Homo-oligomer: A and B are copies of this chain.
Amino acid sequence: MTLLAERTTTDAAADLEAAEVAVVPTGSTEQHGPALPLGMDHMAAQAFARSAADREDTVVLPTIPVGVSVHHRQFDGTLYVSAETFEQYVEETIASLAEHGVRKAVVVNGHGGNSGALRRAARTLRDEETAFAPPWNWWDSVEDVAADLFDEDGGHADAMESSLLWHIRDDLVQPDELEAAEAGASESWGESVHGAALGFDTIDFSESGAVGRPTQADPEKGEALFEAGADQLDALLDWLAAQPLEDCWARAHK
């Protein structure tokens, strides 16, 4: 398995020469209810990212572990940085990689709260023709699989996330707590009042910190999700590796 950080600069020169794409795992360290560890999101991102580490045309960057999680701050252990700081941290990391010639990347993201910042970072990098680095949220890639496996409209520390982590780090799931997680969970994300999206913080609508039905989780479902997601990522990397760089840039005025 080839992880950039484990290579010397000399070996990396060859890796980067051969590489068409990079994978940049991003997540968060934030409450995931009583059954899942705080690192859920960066662990998931890292696991998916490393599934690509055997590709000869891909380099995998270190995992960025703290993200945009201010909305979980009332729950113990949540760490966060501002959206702007996170955006800069990711954008500058990718820009520095681009100096070595790898200018296409997938940001493998494990945390929904990071999405806006990642979109803005990707836009800037693209508009300046530094790099093409779209974010890939693992859960978006397995929507169909999840719909078959679970009956929930989740969003956080739900059956989907619980299953996934059970597969990749079963030592860190506390199955006995899934009941408590669900008992205190909200059915869906946030709180809508006559069309206004309230629910600024998770604590505004969820007692346990979870959203969804975590008791539906099991590790086999997690394996199915992981395999499906890893396949999708692999296909995405194939696709991106084949894209000419000049086709990645923003289009000219109509």
Contacts and interface: CB of A to CB of B under 8 A. Distances in A.
Interface residues of A, number: 96
Given A37-B7, A116-B116, A196 B75 contact: no
Interface string A96-133: 11011000001000000000100110110010000000
Given A177-B8, A194-B233, A97 B74 contact: no
Contacts of A13: 76-77
Interface centre among A35, A63, A198 (most CB of B within 10 A): A198
Interface centre among A15, A84, A92, A203 (most CB of B within 10 A): A92
Contact of A123 (B5, B37, B100, B200): B200
A33 B8 contact: yes
A159 to B, nearest CB: 16
Interface of A: 3-10, 12-13, 15-16, 29, 31-39, 42-43, 61-66, 69-70, 73-86, 88-89, 92-93, 96-97, 99-100, 106, 116, 119-120, 122-123, 126, 134-138, 140-143, 172, 174, 177, 192-198, 200-201, 203-204, 209, 229, 232-233, 235-236, 239, 250-254
